[in-house]
Amino acid sequence: MKKIIAFLMAALMLSLCLAGCGAKGKTLAEVQEAGKIVIATSPDFPPFESLEGGQVVGIEIDIMELICKELGVQLEVVQMDFDSVLLGVQSAKYDAGVSGITVTPARQKNMLFTAPYYNAAQVIVVKEGSDIKGKADLSDKTVSVQTGTTAEEGCGDEGIAVQAFAANADAKAALTTGKVDAWVVDNLTAIQMVEEGDGLVILDEKMTEEPYAFSFAFGSEDLVEKIDTVLAKLIADGTIESIFANYGETYMKP
Ligand code: ARG
């Protein structure tokens, strides 16, 4: 009996919170009714999302296009800084966050995630010839990161001095102009942005390994479930791997 009461109380509190904690994410039926999925993205993160002549392009856009096709809806893309993506999704201002978002236990308290579709890592980028050879050398150094990212959180946790920038390109520029000693960023983005050629190198030792997924507001449970079945199919039949190959990258299954 006690257990039943405790369960009912928990269910009541959860529903009160869902009602009182503001807007809820759209259900599958609501998205299909609207005829579109509106995604929030920070297009400063090649090869996942970047700008090409004012258009947002990239691996995640290609994946979302396929998901939308399967659901019979259009894809609508809204651009903003990365930290606004997370806030905008959890408050259900946008239907989904598509921004190379790492699944973390802290974020899972505030929003829903699809199953992870890619296994990423944080890497350390330094100037050629730097005496920084790995993580251990960062303790008395300053690193640049993008605001609100797992890089900011991870470096902070390790007690490394951090300078955070809203735009990823500014985090990189802080290193090239010598304002910081290193730049911590996700691996594939590091590869693509280092290729732009500014005398930067990526260190072998990784800071972390972390899975990417798409995020949704609470309330979108059935939509996420549906998207998970589509994602599973796209992973199993090699579609996701070939999308990565189109961008010259190797796919790492989570
Ligand atoms: N994976 C990292 C995170 O979730 C960084 C993502 C940055 N994304 C972007 N589109 N700039 O915190």
State if residue 189 touches ligand 1 by the CB under 6 angstroms criterion.
no
Topology of 121-209 in CATH?
D-Maltodextrin-Binding Protein; domain 2 (3.40.190)
Residue 173 has what pLDDT? 97
Strand, coil or helix: what is 225?
helix
Query: Across residues 114-121, what is the average pLDDT?
Result: 97
State the chain's mean pLDDT as an integer.
Answer: 93
What CATH number was assigned to the domain covering residues 22-117+213-246? 3.40.190.10
Residue 23 has what pLDDT? 85
State if residue 82 touches ligand 1 by the CB under 6 angstroms criterion.
yes
82: CA distance to ligand 1 center in Å? 7
State if residue 101 touches ligand 1 by the CB under 6 angstroms criterion.
yes
Residue 231 has what pLDDT? 98
State if residue 149 touches ligand 1 by the CB under 6 angstroms criterion.
yes
Q: Cα separations (Å) of 157 from 185, 197, 207?
A: 15, 31, 12
Asked if 22-117+213-246 and 121-209 have one fold, the answer is yes
Nearest CA to ligand 1 atom 5: 149
In testing the pocket of ligand 1, which one of 149, 153, 187 has its CB within 8 Å of the most ligand atoms?
149
**pLDDT tens profile 156-214:** 999 999 999 999 999 999 999 999 999 999 999 999 999 988 899 999 999 999 999 99
H/E stretch holding 85: helix 82-90
78: CA distance to ligand 1 center in Å? 16
Q: Is the peptide bond before 43 cis (omega within 30 degrees of 0)?
A: no
The residue among 202, 247, 238, 240 whose CA lies nearest residue 116 is 240
State if residue 42 touches ligand 1 by the CB under 6 angstroms criterion.
yes
Domain ranges of the chain: 22-117+213-246, 121-209
Least confident of 5-9, 84-88, 153-157: 5-9
Across the strands, what pairs with 165?
A: 146
100: CA distance to ligand 1 center in Å? 5
